[in-house]
Structure 1
Amino acid sequence: MSKATRATQVLDRAGIAYSVHAYAYDPEAPRIGLQAAEALGLSPDRILKTLMAEADGKPVCVLVASDREVSLKRLAAACGAKSAAMLKPAEAERITGYHVGGISPLGQKRRLPVLIDDAALSAGHDEIYLNGGGRGLQVRLRPADLVAVLEARVVPLT
């Protein structure tokens, strides 16, 4: 598997320090983020999962710790919307240009608003992991760098 992806290219262009970590991806895993944490020997709160949702019909990218669940009510409120829902896998793939299990918030086909759960960044980790743009590929970087490169809003979502 190539370690150069659209996601890593975004980090390279932004001059952000990161490292790439490959693991044996299990397409049958019920929760991909938790499987990645186990495969890499990390606590689940260090791995952020990328979720694709919509708020009042507009797509949004959401990052939460792999062991947490998004509150759709909080997501809608954070977006100033009346309702929020998770996108169907095929729609998420169409919008991002990535395959489910390999969706990164970095390097998506079009730039979407990104929300990061405040609990995911309040654990005090110097570095966190997120999908690097391919199944079985994680990138490790500093939380502040992630927020900056994504121009993300950090809000309560879980």
Structure 2
Amino acid sequence: MTPAINSAKKAKIAFTVHEYQHDPGSESYGEEAAAALGLDQAQVFKTLLVSLTGHKSQLGVAVIPVSHQLSLKAIAKAFGAKKAEMADPKVAERTTGYIVGGISPIGQKKALPTMIDSSAELQPQINVSAGKRGLEIELSPHDLAKLTRASFADIVA
């Protein structure tokens, strides 16, 4: 059981956990998850941490489809920050309590401001990491937003 799954259970939301055999040689964790689970890439979202300049929080979380790239300009604007850049992976791991490739937006050690790409709202269910490589949690995008106190914004390039 991961903190992400425990948080979803505690909130009494509907979710499904999907497990697959993670390939350590995989170059894209999210695309690997979509392929292994036979899901459309529009339904599988990756969790990225950004460093924010000019924002009360130094870090923010972006949840975007695995088939897209994050727009640093758009995420900075969505957070009301002057600038955003990808966070150092070691800082991301230390702050969230998860390892890169298994960082879930749910149940992080420290609650961070979170933005979910607005394309998630077009899907009845989305999949995000459940807190370790090879483990995904499927839930409604609005339940994800509720769990993470997230907002929706256009944040992909």
TM range (shorter): over 0.9
Q: In structure 2, how many angstroms separate the alpha carbons of the residues matched to 1:101 and 1:26?
A: 11
Q: In structure 2, how many angstroms separate the alpha carbons of the residues matched to 1:84 and 1:152?
A: 17
User: Does the alignment pair 1:108 with 2:116?
Assistant: no
Superimposed CA distance per residue, residues 98-142 of structure 1 (whole angstroms, 9 cap, x where no aligned partner): 0111100111111000100112333xx221111001110001111
Instruction: Compute the TM-score of the two structures, normalised by the length of structure 1.
Output: 0.93
Aligned to 2:119: 119
| Alpha-carbon shift at residue 28 of structure 1 (Å) | 2.1
Aligned to 1:25: 22
Q: 1:51 aligns with which of 35, 48, 52?
A: 48
Aligned to 1:14: 11
Aligned to 1:135: 133
Q: Which runs of 5+ in 1 are unaligned?
A: none
Q: Which amino acid aligns with 2:18?
A: H
| Alpha-carbon shift at residue 40 of structure 1 (Å) | 0.4
User: Does the alignment pair 1:98 with 2:98?
Assistant: yes
Q: In structure 2, how many angstroms separate the alpha carbons of the residues matched to 1:98 and 1:53?
A: 15
SS in 1 for 2:130: strand
Number of residue pairs the alignment of both structures matches:
153
| Alpha-carbon shift at residue 144 of structure 1 (Å) | 1.4
Aligned 8 A contact 2:61 2:114 in 1: yes
| CA RMSD after TM alignment | 1.1
Aligned to 1:156: 154
Aligned 8 A contact 2:29 2:133 in 1: no
| Alpha-carbon shift at residue 48 of structure 1 (Å) | 0.7
Q: Which amino acid aligns with 2:34?
A: A
User: Does the alignment pair 1:40 with 2:55?
Assistant: no
Taking every aligned residue pair, what percent have the same amino acid on both sides?
Answer: 41
Aligned to 1:84: 84
Q: Which runs of 5+ in 2 are unaligned?
A: none
| Alpha-carbon shift at residue 62 of structure 1 (Å) | 0.7
Q: Which amino acid aligns with 2:138?
A: R
Aligned 8 A contact 1:27 1:101 in 2: no
Instruction: Compute the TM-score of the two structures, normalised by the length of structure 2.
Output: 0.93
| Alpha-carbon shift at residue 59 of structure 1 (Å) | 0.5
SS in 1 for 2:32: helix
User: Does the alignment pair 1:75 with 2:63?
Assistant: no
Which consecutive aligned stretches of 4+ in structure 1 deviate over 3 angstroms post-superposition? none
